[in-house]
Amino acid sequence: MDHTAMQGRLDKLLSAYSHQYNIDRDVTVEGGSFPATATFFLRDENYLISKKHVLSAVENYDYTYFYVTDHLDAATLRQQIDLTMKVGMARVKPHREHMSSYVSLVILADTIDEEAKSLIKKTRFQKYFRLALHGWMEYHIAAMECSTNSFLSNPAGKGARKILEQNLGSR
């Protein structure tokens, strides 16, 4: 698949994310770079009489990293998982009002080898902070194999896969 078509798919996907996420393009992190990242933050508060008296608050985060390639093999996928896990976990700041954080890797690849497909499906990571009193984090991964118009994800990444299917799947 040519570079222009892949860029068009990424742009369409980022447009869908931009309704709820802050999008950054051409992001360089320690150990690598991504054509784009998306950050989501939601804070919900309950008040007593006025906003000065907060009874409780919860915060939810999602840090999504986009990776685009012609061919995805298992070794490259492991590198991307390790990198996104490292930089994503560095952004998670557990505290009393932290409820959840998701670190997500969304992949657009022309072809994906079988070993990489298997790795996507079986990748799982979840971490609780202070017995979940300071929230938890979960790792999501979703991918589109553009040449076959197929989608896959790990169990936690079903939401990201659904966004891929809704925006890039054939109708």
* Per-chain mean pLDDT for the chain: 92
What is the per-residue pLDDT for 116?
A: 96
Confidence of residue 169 (pLDDT cuts 50, 70, 90): confident
What is the per-residue pLDDT for 1?
A: 59
Q: How far is CA 46 from the centre of its chain?
A: 28
Res. 136: pLDDT tops 80: yes
Res. 33: pLDDT tops 90: yes
Res. 52: pLDDT tops 80: no
pTM for this structure?
0.92
Please give the residue that has the higher pLDDT: either 85 or 30.
Answer: 85
Res. 113: pLDDT tops 80: yes
Please give the residue that has the higher pLDDT: either 12 or 132.
Answer: 12
